[in-house]
Structure 1
Amino acid sequence: MRVLVTDPITDVGLDVLRDAGHEVETGYELEGDDLLEAVSDANAMIVRSGTEVTEEVLTAAEDLVIVGRAGIGVDNIDIEAATDQGVIVANAPEGNVRAAAEHTVAMTFATARSIPEAHIRLKNGEWAKSDYLGTELNGKTMGVVGLGRVGQEVAKKLDALGMEVAAYDPYISEERAERIGAELVGLEESLERADFLTVHTPLTPETEGLIGEEELDTLGDGYLINCARGGVVDEEALATKVGDGTLAGAALDVFAEEPLSPDSSLLEYDEVIVTPHLGASTEAAQENVATSTADQVNAALAGEPVANALNAPSIDESAFPRLEPYIEIAETAGKVAAQLLDGRIENIEVVYEGEIADESIEFVTASALKGIFEPLKWQVNAVNAPQIADERGVDVTESKTRQSEDFQSLLSVTVSDDNGNEISVDGTLFADNDPRIVRVDGYRVDAIPHGNMVVTRNADEPGVIGFIGRVMGEYDVNIAGMFNARETIGGTALTVYNVDSPMPDEAKEDLEADERIIEINDITLNGQ
């Protein structure tokens, strides 16, 4: 597989990719048509903040499986377009958390004690001791906007320094905030109470300009620190408020436009401390994000779940060995159900029974949707399957129960149309994680979910199975296994055949010409 790396990452990350057998190409100056050409045959792409992964780039990359962001922020990646194309977008949120949090605390101290200004003046020969009266952090209130991974780490460090933490985050619970030493409040209250305000939100349409002139007035004579994403704070308003004395000072590591222009009004005031996006610039952080991103690219290219996928269900690394067999079962059950239903799929239900109900099964459900939609010739994978269901108006429900009558764990996929017709296919694991289809439309079977299958409904009469076998033999279709079930003696029987090759249309026509054959379906599954 070919991996295109368009922003620099450490060699240790590149080595992880090469050790997995991938061809790694670096192109740190690529842009425009050159970027489109380079990505056209790439299977994976790794970027930092320098490369804009636009809809045009994603459209040009027909073979792209994943875009890995070596860092946290993904505002340079069009995630909606990636999802439309079935491309995974994954970041490395843990790798630089500690580095970013430490830089935030360092910037807080720097602005509270005027460290850069005093340093410069002393280097210039001035002993300006009496010009700087610092502010202690102990006993002060830090307003934290955004309690994500970095925000939480900052809150914990500042709480340990004796600060009160008043945090705003509409997506976190009060209990979680309390566990890290923060009090959860509204944005306005956080601003009103804060002596210092630190911002830790991603840049989205909702957060762009979140801290503007009105919010800075509410902050009053406090200090603002932003080591998250440029654009969340209105930089012109910030410079004005520092310049007219409304704010005591500010410290910024990120900017709306980077590099920061030499003409920026932020550079006019000594009370505004600036650093050139150094939050993740430690040796440990760079190695962590590089290896984390490379590991996720390797997983995606191997067809495994990606731990930090932003637009696809993910599975914890420790849970993957337990769930991996069910991923294939779910996809297979979906394929079989979709091909057996003679009608437009309107509803999908995925039910988990027994021990599997204790697991996080979002990726398994997405795999079931992938299996259902593939026979319909839709361009689908586990990334865009939930979105495709939503766009096509297919109602998807998911349920769990710890009770299972016959099996330790059971997965059931049911598809139905608007006329009330429905088909259910159930799967489970036997000993040694041996996957099996154990029910089809209520008929108990024992079928191996692999390769080619033929599913027949026929009259439960002597000679029918022999007739089917004879026709298959005439067309050189070898039967590897057969599993027969019936409703009642003399009623309708359902048989699942594992065969070594697809059944020719002529064979199906010969079978269907016999009045004892009610229905016959030729199904191709995973592994072929």
Structure 2
Amino acid sequence: MKVLVTDPIADAGLDRLRDAGHDVQTAYDAEGDALLDAVADANALVVRSGTQVTDELFDAAPDLVIVGRAGIGVDNIDIDAATDHGVIVANAPEGNVRAAAEHTVAMAFATARSIPQAHGRLSDGEWAKGEFLGTELNGKTLGVVGLGRVGQEVAKRLGSLGMDLVAYDPYIGEDRAEQLGAELLDFEDVVERADFLTVHVPLTDETEGLIGEAELAEMEGGYVVNVARGGVVDEDALAEAADDGVVAGAALDVFAEEPLSAESPLLDAENVIVTPHLGASTAAAQEHVATTTADQVVAALNDEPVLNALNAPSVEESAFGRIEPYIGLAETAGKVAAQLFDGRIERVGVRYEGDIAEEDLDLVTASAQKGVFEPLEWQVNAVNAPRVAEERGIEVTETKTRQSEDFQSLVSVTVGNSDDDLTVSGTLFAGDDPRLVKIDGYRVDAIPHGHMLAARNRDEPGVIGFIGTALGEAGVNIAGMFNARETIGGEALTVYNLDEPVPGDALDALLADDRITDVRSIELNGE
């Protein structure tokens, strides 16, 4: 498959993609129509921060499966548009965490001790020892805005140097903050108390200009460090605050517009340090993000779950092995349920029983939705299935219980509407052998594979023989059969595994017999 790389990444990542058998093409200078032409037949796109991945680009790339961001920030990627097109967006959140954290610490020390300014003066032949009175970090208060991966690493490092830690992050619990030795506060309180304020948030509508004139005024005599995303700090306000002595210093590695314009007022502020987006620029970080991104691209092109997907349910690597077999089982149960149900599907329920209920199962539930929607011929995958359900007004529920009567773990998918519903349940035998064990209340032991037929009939002698004869006359070989009934002489359900699909006239012949109440072909595409 074609993998297009439009921003330079480490050779180790390119090699990993090629070793997986993919056609890797680079287009580092492509933009505009040239970029759209290059991506038109691409199955995967790998970018850093330089390529703008827009709705127009997704429209131009109908075969695109994944956009891999070799780094953590994704503000250059339209994730909503990606989701609408069913394209996975995945980043490499761990690859440059250490590098970004260390650069943040370096910038904090550099601005506290005016290291670049002193170096410049000395390089010019001036011994300005008496003009630089630094600030020690020990005993000062560090305010961390965004206590994610990088923010936590910065807190650990600077906390170990004797700084008091306060933090703002609405998505982090107090227990985790306490583990890091940080006091979790409202944003305004963090700004007011911080002697050093470090920023570790993505650029969004909510965070743009988050640190502005009012916040800088609250930090009188303090320092601001931003190695996260440009635009979070109001650069004009910061330059003015630095010039006026409102803040003692600042250090920025990222900017609203990059490269930074030579006209930027930040360049004229003597107590502001700037670096050209070097936060992830270490050899180890670049190799790590490149190989991590390549691994995710390979997984997506192999139709395997992507661990760091941002717009699709993902799962921790340590837990993936435990849920992996249930991903296909849930999708298959959903496909079977949708093909057996007679009516408009208005709701989908996914229920987990037994050991599996202890896991994080968002990815499995999304796969169940994909299975339900595929037979309806909707353009759907695990990425956009939840959005497709929402747009079409389909209610999706997920329930769990540790109790299971007959199986160690059981996955059930129910489809229904206000008039009726139907449930298909499955489990795994011997660890990874999928079986359908209940269909619409009937206990079965069916192997979900390839071409199948489900027949409802009166429990009378000769019915199964008649079905077998009819299939044989149609040239359809039976590979396996699983029969269940409610009561002797009541209704029975029989599931057949077949070597070929059942022709329409054979289905008509079966339904013409008054002992048979319903027959449904099930196609699982060999899965």
Q: Do residues 275 (structure 1) and 275 (structure 2) align?
A: yes
Q: Do residues 492 (structure 1) and 483 (structure 2) align?
A: no
Q: Do residues 379 (structure 1) and 373 (structure 2) align?
A: no
Deviation at 1:526, TM superposition (A): 4.0
Provide TM-score, normalisation by structure 1: 0.98
One-letter amino acid matched to 1:199: V
Deviation at 1:315, TM superposition (A): 2.4
Between 1:308-317 and 1:376-385, the stretch displaced more is 308-317
Q: Do residues 322 (structure 1) and 325 (structure 2) align?
A: no
Counterpart for residue 312 of structure 1? 312
d(CA) in 2 for partners of 1:2, 1:381: 20
What does residue range 169-318 of structure 1 map to in structure 2 within 5 Å?
Answer: 169-318=169-318
- After superposition, the C-alpha distances for 1:400-458 in whole angstroms (9 at most, x for unaligned) are 11111111111111111122x01000100112521100110010111111101111111
Give the 3-state SS of the residue equivalent to 1:404 in structure 2: coil
Between 1:229-238 and 1:397-406, the stretch displaced more is 397-406
Counterpart for residue 468 of structure 1? 467
What does residue range 342-357 of structure 1 map to in structure 2 within 5 Å?
Answer: 342-357=342-357
Between 1:216-225 and 1:368-377, the stretch displaced more is 216-225
- After superposition, the C-alpha distances for 1:469-517 in whole angstroms (9 at most, x for unaligned) are 1111111111110111111111111110111111111111111111111
d(CA) in 1 for partners of 2:69, 2:185: 32
Q: Do residues 501 (structure 1) and 518 (structure 2) align?
A: no
- After superposition, the C-alpha distances for 1:70-92 in whole angstroms (9 at most, x for unaligned) are 00000000000000111100000
Counterpart for residue 69 of structure 2? 69
Contact 1:43 1:65 in 2 (8 A): yes
Q: Do residues 10 (structure 1) and 17 (structure 2) align?
A: no
Give the 3-state SS of the residue equivalent to 2:521 in structure 1: strand
Contact 1:332 1:526 in 2 (8 A): no
* Structure 1 moving runs of 4+ over 6 Å: none
Deviation at 1:527, TM superposition (A): 2.1
One-letter amino acid matched to 1:34: A
One-letter amino acid matched to 1:58: F
- After superposition, the C-alpha distances for 1:344-366 in whole angstroms (9 at most, x for unaligned) are 11111111111111222111111
Q: Do residues 42 (structure 1) and 42 (structure 2) align?
A: yes
Q: C-alpha root-mean-square deviation of aligned residues, in Å?
A: 1.0
Unaligned runs of 5+ in 1: none
d(CA) in 2 for partners of 1:315, 1:210: 31
Counterpart for residue 454 of structure 1? 453
d(CA) in 2 for partners of 1:484, 1:43: 43
d(CA) in 1 for partners of 2:320, 2:507: 40
Between 1:510-519 and 1:5-14, the stretch displaced more is 510-519
Give the 3-state SS of the residue equivalent to 1:485 in structure 2: strand
One-letter amino acid matched to 1:518: T
Give the 3-state SS of the residue equivalent to 1:338 in structure 2: helix
- After superposition, the C-alpha distances for 1:364-396 in whole angstroms (9 at most, x for unaligned) are 111100000001111000111111111111111
Deviation at 1:104, TM superposition (A): 0.4
Give the 3-state SS of the residue equivalent to 2:133 in structure 1: coil
Deviation at 1:318, TM superposition (A): 3.3
One-letter amino acid matched to 1:314: S
Contact 1:3 1:42 in 2 (8 A): yes
Counterpart for residue 51 of structure 1? 51
Provide TM-score, normalisation by structure 2: 0.99
Deviation at 1:320, TM superposition (A): 2.8
Counterpart for residue 526 of structure 2? 527
Deviation at 1:467, TM superposition (A): 1.1
